[in-house]
């Protein structure tokens, strides 16, 4: 099923036309309503009339998270406060939160895009859908909530916290779909296990997971434990919230709602546009937003783009999984390390549970990476809690990390259930280095 056939399946040529017209309009809009952009455009010697096709976008200046911080809280807002009906903030994974105001039109576009995502996952009016993202300033909860209502399924606004109660709700109500972070999905599975509720006792068949990076191995793990099909859901508050891109039934990269959010991949160093297929920083221009429109916003998320046809019939460009953020990519002894690479190594080992921490210290001026990882319950129970097998496993994980990442890590195997669990975005990295 496709929610909006006209917009999701238009020819590439029609899409480019539409994007070009919308880009011209949005540049004109910010030129007249946001002093920050008027100055930037004037400095670059550009007037709105210079923007005729979508290819002209490369002439526009970039916007960064720092620009949002410098203009905190409402400096980049284009609409008057009388038009704003909702305010959210980014979760501040990498610093102070940034504030985003939405007009009624923006909230409408958001729930339209969210309905597209849910339909692509196979959700319909007949479903009962639980939203287990946090409700509040974070866009996850309310963003998905409005989409489910727009679609017409029954929304259960579970939010995070009180996981046992949530498990009972899933079971008693026969909930069929759920949205949460992938780490919360694992936490939910563990809680079910502890409560003696098996995947056959619940009716979940679709999961929409995002807000933090995850891997194919984690997808298999979640699908297996919860007995559902796990789909990727991507978004960021600066651009809208969850709904910027979504996987279809192919589960092969995520279609971008390109008629509203125009994607580019640039080299994070030179800021030059990179061709499809290259890994680089994802940049979005909001083509229709009226509350806080952004031109060429640098997401810091690293991924690839592709525009080859998808068997599902949608024509929108697809983005690959987020490989990391250009600003939280770890540099350990000069080597670029993405936490997702470490996660892949851990999850490829049958003895290791998907719960781990990465701790980076500087000892005698050298970086030291410590990887703490929990062993799975079934191995622990089988006499694993004695010294030799633990030491052996630590050595094996360390050797794998060395062969994949070319770095030496101190591996510490932990007993099941000993590392802290997260309900929102997981905080798995602790970087204790003082770099000055």
Question: Which of the 8 DSSP states describes residue 224?
Answer: H
User: Of 2, 85, 173, 312, which lies in the binding site for Zn ion, with binding defined by CB under 5 A?
Assistant: 312
Least distance between Zn ion and beta carbon 250 (Å): 5
- Helix pair angle (387-405, 339-347), 10° resolution: 130
Of the pair 19, 232, the CB lying nearest ligand ADP is at 232
Minimal CB distance residue for ligand ADP: 210
Q: Which of Zn ion, ligand ADP, none interacts with 325 (beta carbon under 5 to 8 A by kind)?
A: ligand ADP
Least distance between Zn ion and beta carbon 206 (Å): 16
Count of residues interacting with Zn ion (CB under 5 A): 5
Please, which residues have CB within 8 angstroms of residue 99's CB and are 6 or more apart in sequence?
72, 73, 74, 87, 88, 89
Q: Which of Zn ion, ligand ADP, none interacts with 211 (beta carbon under 5 to 8 A by kind)?
A: ligand ADP
Window 182-241: residues binding Zn ion (CB under 5 A): none
Of the pair 91, 183, the CB lying nearest ligand ADP is at 91
Of the pair 134, 207, the CB lying nearest Zn ion is at 207
Contact 327, 316 (CB under 8 A): no
- The three-state secondary structure class of 10 is coil
User: Of 10, 78, 113, 248, which lies in the binding site for Zn ion, with binding defined by CB under 5 A?
Assistant: 248
Q: Which residues bind ligand ADP (CB under 6 A)?
A: 90-94, 138, 210-213, 232-237, 299, 301, 322, 325
Q: Which stretch binds Zn ion (CB under 5 A): 46-54, 68-76, 245-253, 289-297?
A: 245-253
Cis amide bond preceding 227, omega within 30: no
Of the pair 133, 384, the CB lying nearest ligand ADP is at 133
Window 291-310: residues binding Zn ion (CB under 5 A): 310
Of the pair 150, 237, the CB lying nearest ligand ADP is at 237
> Strands (DSSP E) along 146-212, which ranges?
154-156, 177-180, 206-210
DSSP collapsed to 3 states, 42-65: HHCCCCHHHCCCHHHHHHCCCECH
Distance between the two ends of the chain, CA-based, in angstroms? 54
Please tell me the total number of residues recorded for the chain in this structure.
436
User: Of 145, 296, 314, 357, which lies in the binding site for Zn ion, with binding defined by CB under 5 A?
Assistant: 314
Of the pair 169, 239, the CB lying nearest ligand ADP is at 239
Least distance between ligand ADP and beta carbon 236 (Å): 4
Please, which residues have CB within 8 angstroms of residue 383's CB and are 6 or more apart in sequence?
389
Contact 215, 252 (CB under 8 A): no
Nearest to 416 by CA among 367, 382, 373, 386: 373
Q: Which of Zn ion, ligand ADP, none interacts with 310 (beta carbon under 5 to 8 A by kind)?
A: Zn ion
Nearest to 138 by CA among 174, 69, 86, 175: 86
Task: Confirm or reject binding of residue 425 to Zn ion (CB under 5 A).
Answer: no
Residues of this chain that interact with Zn ion (CB under 5 A) are 248, 250, 310, 312, 314
């Amino acid at each position: 099923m496709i929610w909006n056939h006209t917009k999701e399946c238009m020819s590439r040529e029609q899409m480019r036309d539409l994007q070009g017209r919308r880009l011209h309009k949005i540049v004109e809009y910010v030129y007249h309503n946001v002093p920050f952009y008027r100055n930037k455009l004037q400095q670059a010697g550009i007037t709105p009339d210079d923007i005729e096709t979508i290819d002209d976008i490369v002439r526009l200046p970039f916007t960064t998270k720092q620009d949002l911080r410098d203009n905190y809280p409402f400096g980049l807002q284009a609409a008057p406060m009388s038009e704003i009906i909702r305010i959210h903030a980014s979760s501040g994974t990498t610093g102070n939160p940034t504030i985003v105001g939405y007009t009624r039109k923006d909230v409408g576009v958001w729930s339209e895009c969210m309905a597209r995502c849910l339909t692509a996952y196979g959700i319909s009016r007949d479903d009962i859908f639980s939203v287990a993202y946090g409700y509040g300033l974070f866009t996850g909860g309310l963003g998905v909530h409005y989409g489910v209502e727009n679609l017409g399924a029954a929304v259960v606004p579970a939010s995070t916290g009180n996981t046992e109660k949530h498990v009972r709700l899933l079971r008693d109500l026969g909930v069929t779909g759920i949205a949460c972070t992938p780490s919360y999905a694992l936490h939910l599975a563990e809680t079910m296990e502890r409560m003696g509720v098996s995947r056959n006792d619940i009716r979940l068949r679709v999961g929409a997971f995002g807000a933090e990076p995850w891997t194919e191995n984690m997808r298999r793990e979640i699908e297996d434990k919860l007995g559902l099909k796990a789909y990727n859901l991507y978004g960021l508050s600066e651009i809208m919230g969850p709904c910027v891109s979504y996987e279809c039934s192919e589960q092969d990269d995520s279609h971008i709602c390109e008629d509203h959010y125009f994607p580019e991949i640039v080299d994070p160093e030179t800021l030059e546009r990179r061709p499809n297929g290259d890994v680089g920083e994802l940049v979005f221009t909001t083509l229709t937003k009226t509350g806080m429109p952004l031109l060429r916003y640098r997401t810091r998320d690293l991924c690839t783009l592709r525009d080859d046809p998808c068997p599902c019939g949608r024509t929108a460009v697809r983005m690959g999984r987020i490989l990391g953020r250009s600003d939280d990519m770890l540099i350990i002894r000069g080597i670029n390390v993405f936490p997702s690479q470490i996660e892949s190594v851990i999850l490829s080992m049958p003895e290791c549970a998907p719960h781990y921490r990465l701790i980076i210290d500087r000892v005698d001026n050298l970086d030291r990476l410590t990887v703490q990882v929990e062993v799975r319950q079934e191995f622990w129970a089988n006499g694993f809690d004695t010294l030799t097998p633990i030491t052996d496993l630590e050595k094996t994980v360390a050797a794998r990390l060395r062969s994949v990442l070319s770095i030496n890590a101190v591996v510490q195997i932990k007993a099941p259930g000993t590392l802290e669990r997260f309900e929102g975005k997981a905080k798995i990295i602790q970087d204790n280095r003082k770099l000055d």
